[in-house]
Chains A and B, each alone.
Chain A
């Protein structure tokens, strides 16, 4: 069975500082990995995805993530936080065996301090 662990349910960063959100997954076959962002009382918006190919993936709003197979990780980063980055972030995994089902992590809420 697949699983996703997001380390830290809450992260606080200063505006302009590095944002680092951690995601570790388990999957018995090569995974497809996704990061989503959720603003209050809204649905989830796709930030980026890894399927195959280049392990460093760039997404919207200046975010990027690196797939590290040896570490079973897919951490999300942004070099300089902006106030508008305050939101909840979810890592999710699927693979060919799971078909079209996603498994989500518990989420990390980001607070940006001025």
Chain B
């Protein structure tokens, strides 16, 4: 079945440590996205990529980095510069066209030890 796989489901980070969240899709979608979700809040866009080897900052990119070396993969690194990284992170992808919906993975919950 086609879909989006995020791993791991739960992740723990020590202070001062970088961690990388994985997102892989086999839907042959061009665009991929990373969102952050905090309790009681909507989704906020961190980074997005519309094509391989290109990506753009979203609304809350500070303290995060991404790469898009392959169409299927869009990993997110939460750096030590992100002072409040505890959140639920969602990856999404979509095919080209503004009227097409985004498809979401099941998320990664990141916590600070």
Chain A residues close to B by CB (< 8 Å) = 9, 32, 34, 36, 41-46, 49, 51-52, 90, 94-96, 98-102, 104-107
Chain B residue nearest to A106 in the complex (CB): B42
Q: B42 and A32: CB pair below 8 A? A: no
Q: B98 and A43: CB pair below 8 A? A: no
Residues of A within 8 A of B31 (CB): 100
Give the Cβ gap from B96 to chain A, nearest Cβ, in Å.
Answer: 7
Q: B101 and A96: CB pair below 8 A? A: no
* B71 within 8 Å of A (CB atoms): no
For the complex, give the distance between the alpha carbons of A95 and B50 in Å.
16
For the complex, give the distance between the alpha carbons of A100 and B50 in Å.
8
Residues of B within 8 A of A98 (CB): 98
Q: B102 and A90: CB pair below 8 A? A: no
Q: A100 and B105: CB pair below 8 A? A: no
| Tier of interface size on chain B | 20 to 34
For the complex, give the distance between the alpha carbons of A91 and B105 in Å.
18
Q: B101 and A34: CB pair below 8 A? A: yes
For the complex, give the distance between the alpha carbons of A98 and B4 in Å.
23
Give the Cβ gap from B12 to chain A, nearest Cβ, in Å.
Answer: 16
For the complex, give the distance between the alpha carbons of A45 and B102 in Å.
9
Q: Which of A42, A45, A90, A95 contacts B98 (CB 8 A)?
A: A95
Q: A96 and B98: CB pair below 8 A? A: yes
Chain B residue nearest to A105 in the complex (CB): B42
Q: Which of A52, A95, A106 contacts B41 (CB 8 A)?
A: A106
* B46 within 8 Å of A (CB atoms): no
Residues 1-37 of B, flagged 1 when their CB comes within 8 A of A and 0 if not, give 0001010000000000000000000000001000000
